[in-house]
Structure 1
Amino acid sequence: MKLPRSIAGWTIAVFGVLALVMGAVGLLWPEAQLRMLGFEVPATRSVGDHTGTFLLASSMAAFNMGVYYLLATVTEWRAFYRFTVVFRLVTFTVFAIAVLADIAPDRFFGVAAWEGLGAVATAIGLRLDARRGIPAGGVGSSEGAGTTAVAEEGTGPTGAAPADAVR
């Protein structure tokens, strides 16, 4: 895997690796995950208790999210970086309210703090990258990740004229 090429990329990569690892922990050792989050782990679960099912689903989502974040890092997908800042701040707010409203245990505030601090770190990284002259589309790109070099002006990557240029 290629290393991140920007400060913001490093913040996204760190979050991606941790999401991947924590998702794997939840899938492989769910009791440890629950204990880390401050939830009780009873010896047996009562009928109708779907904690395991919910943990399986959220752990798989975290694992997948880790993969998405790492893919965004490899492609230096800066629009994704900006998107995560907003939604990680929303996540911080929701999780913090859950703790304050006694819906979640106090230790769960660590998850909220992680989201909030991660959002702030990525926002700062984006700002510092902009000051360093890294274009909004990413390192070495004038328009963003996933763009393809054009063979010559007015033609697509294969050298053919774009469909909208055909008259």
Structure 2
Amino acid sequence: MRLPRSGAGWTMAVFGVLALLLGALGLIWPEAQLRLLGFEVPARRAAGDYTGTFLTASSMASFNMGVYYLLSAATEWRSFYRFTVVFRLVTFTVFSIAVLSDIAPDRFFGVAAWEGLGAVATAVALRWDARHAASTTPDAGPSAGPVGVDDAAGGAAMADPAR
């Protein structure tokens, strides 16, 4: 696995590792995951309680998302970085509303904060990376686009104006 080559790539890698590990925790030890999130863990579940099923699905999604984020960091897929900033801010908003509406316990706000702070960190790193690249590239005028590989296709986005 390649190490990230940019600040934004590092934010994606850190988030990816955390998502992968927390997903694995939910799959291996679901009770610990529920306690971490502030949910009650009863000794017995009632008939029709599908908490375990939902936790398995959420944990698997988190694990997979961690893999996607690590892949994006290894390939410097900057379009994906920008995409995640928007949707992580949406996730922050939805999760915050769930806590404020008493749908989720207060401790669940930690998940919202993790998403929001991660989105902001990636956005700041993207901006920093762009400024740093522009300042170190000779002849980078105002019309010059981003420097470097923009997607996993090895720069196809720069070669194909339709992208």
TM-score if structure 2 supplies the norm length? 0.86
| Structure 2 counterpart of 1:111, one-letter code | V
Change (3 A) 1:83 1:46: same
Q: 1:5 aligns to what?
A: 5
Looking at structure 1, the residues matched to 57 and 32 of structure 2 have their Cα atoms a distance apart, in angstroms, of 16
Looking at structure 2, the residues matched to 118 and 21 of structure 1 have their Cα atoms a distance apart, in angstroms, of 16
Pairing 1:144–2:151 present: yes
| Structure 2 counterpart of 1:7, one-letter code | G
Which structure 2 residues correspond to residues 121-136 of structure 1 after superposition, within 5 A?
Answer: 121-133=121-133, 136=146
Identity percentage over the alignment?
75
Structure 1 segments unaligned to the other structure (5+ residues): 150-167
How far the C-alpha of 1:147 sits from its partner, in A, is: 2.6
Looking at structure 2, the residues matched to 148 and 96 of structure 1 have their Cα atoms a distance apart, in angstroms, of 37
Pairing 1:106–2:136 present: no
Rg larger for: 1
Structure 2 segments unaligned to the other structure (5+ residues): 135-144, 157-163
Q: 1:83 aligns to what?
A: 83
Change (3 A) 1:81 1:148: closer
Secondary structure class of the residue paired with 1:133: helix
| Structure 2 counterpart of 1:64, one-letter code | N
Which structure 2 residues correspond to residues 69-80 of structure 1 after superposition, within 5 A?
Answer: 69-80=69-80
Structure 1 residue runs of 4 or more that deviate by more than 3 Å after TM superposition: none
Pairing 1:45–2:45 present: yes
How far the C-alpha of 1:145 sits from its partner, in A, is: 2.8
